Structure 1
Amino acid sequence: MRWPDGARVRVAVGLFAVLFAMPVVAGSVHRAVSLGYAQQYDSAWATLARVSERDTLAPLVAFWRAALVQMLLYDSGDPALADSFHRTSDRALAACRERLRTHPDDARAHLLFGLTQLNRANCQGWQRSRLRAVMTLNSASRSLGRAVALDSTLADGWFGLAAIEYVRVNADRYALGLGLLGSRKRAYRMIARSLDGEGWLANAAGFMLAYMHKEDGEFEQAVEVCERILRQYPENRTGLRLLRDTYLAAGRWEDALQVAGRLDSSITRDFPGNRYGRSENRLVAMKAWDGLGLQDSALAYADRIIAWSRYERQVPWLDRYVAEARQYRRRCER
């Protein structure tokens, strides 16, 4: 087939534009991701907003826009952002479907579809829609499995599969009676394979590994992973929460209180109205003071949580924290 000269020029220019844009976009996305982990959300969003969404790049950009909204949702504790996350993740899924419509074996499109579904399942769990979360996880598992079958070097695919595998191992913690089958050893093999590669979600994989170690009572390993990530992002509140919770689970009460103090200052500075994050932090402080045998200090924190009971309908998970604080007070009064 002989193409007209003008068509050849347009095709050549188009291919050059896409090939030139890919490293530029990748660099912009890397900067946005790094800014997100540094909790500079406005700058991260502005960086992504300047990125052009071409056909091959639309799923990547759309995925990270949704992921940034989710980071802010959990960090701020503002439930109104849940709707924004679901809308932006809908757009990410649509971008992946459009790519897969014309390129059904695009491993990265399958990957991003699966990771978006994994994030949606996580958010559904946070919203306490547990059965919906499990159903969404199943969809994520299929897409991620397809992605690594097409390209076994996709580190982020192994991270996603490891997270799902570990949830299945501990399914009854999240939705009683599901009886899902999972392998703890397989989850660790998958997360190791993820961390051996070069994925966009290396820090998320690190947090997942630390969480797994904490849940399995391997506290020194969990602390080591948290501290490694916090050396790069010292104010990252996800890392600080995980480190705090690890110290609490390990019975390192004073260390847990020290990190809880850092968290409270950080949350109050950046999100002074965040009763979700602060009430959770106060619950940890209550337990740590109790572990030290200082019941009066523990009760003071319990009472601070109970004082926010009138906000239970507006603040995610606050009803659970208030109930636990009240239960602790009743136990002390016996």
Structure 2
Amino acid sequence: MRLLLLWIVIEVACNVEHRQFSFYTKTSTLVNRCSGTSLIASVETVNILDCASICFHEFHCRRFSYCSADSSCKLFRDGTDCVTAGNGNTCSCYRKNIGRKPSMVTCPLGYHGESCQHIIKDCTEGFDRGWNISDVSKALVYIQPTASLEPFEVFCDLKHVSGTIILERNNNCSDENFNRSRTEYEKGFGEVSKNQWIGFNKLLAMIENRPGFNFTIQIALKDEDGNSCNNFYRGLKLENSSNGYSISFVSNDTNSCGDSFVDGRPFSTYDADYTDYQCATRFGGGWWFANQPNCTKGFLTGSMKGSTTDNFWYGSFDNRVLRRATMWLIGSII
């Protein structure tokens, strides 16, 4: 999390007896073509304190940005950092760590308790808390699996028991380099809900959270004409680093997109290639490549620029340009 060492406490219309206040942390303003978060309102204000005051009074506001160039104040229901498509030098971003009013507490999504002292361990817990019927059915949420030392932010689909994005490719957002080392694929990279890979360390921690669950990988694709499809790979088994993060499934439903996933293969990167054909180097990204000359029938960590190393998926999407590709981790009780 890219947090600057600047803390402010905004006590707006403060009633000392009832302790009404908001506590904010200054975060980062990033340049990207898409925001990927939920805007509540955009208003014009005099200064940053007025913007903070508006966020304080709006119960669902958990983050705000203020841009001095045009005096714009934007309120968001989730997320940590703010995004601008242009020059962000005149903009500041703040996350609400806690907002307290009589009988009401606002926490960053994922945190809960009278002082926001607790955190959910995965999206399933958010579903169990009934967040799927509130204003946050799809949102950026903080989680901390049991095996994780620190919380991290994920995109949850709380309409499912445990819907979490593990890979996002979106051509509408700014580019992200996916030709990364094994270490980088272990840690994760990119911007959540834009172009990102969650990282094997976090993915395994989420799976280990629920030993009694059956996990499914959902692959959702969309082409340049707006056509879409969804594949489901059920009974996920993901090995650890000693076994190269090999992936396998019990069954699949691939009638929608066509089956282009190589089952039972380890994950190759340019510096840790499990093939005899330098597949990761040739294709320009890490993937579960087959040990054969053509390497794979599906590839979602390439470029999205119309090059020879673009993402592709053979089957119903043959010869189509992929504009968006998403991999979800979905859990259900066995």
TM-score, normalising length: structure 1: 0.29
Could you say which structure has the higher strand fraction? 2
Identify which of structures 1 and 2 has the higher relative contact order when contacts are C-alpha pairs closer than 8 Å and 6+ apart.
2
Could you say which structure has the higher helix fraction? 1
TM-score, normalising length: structure 2: 0.29
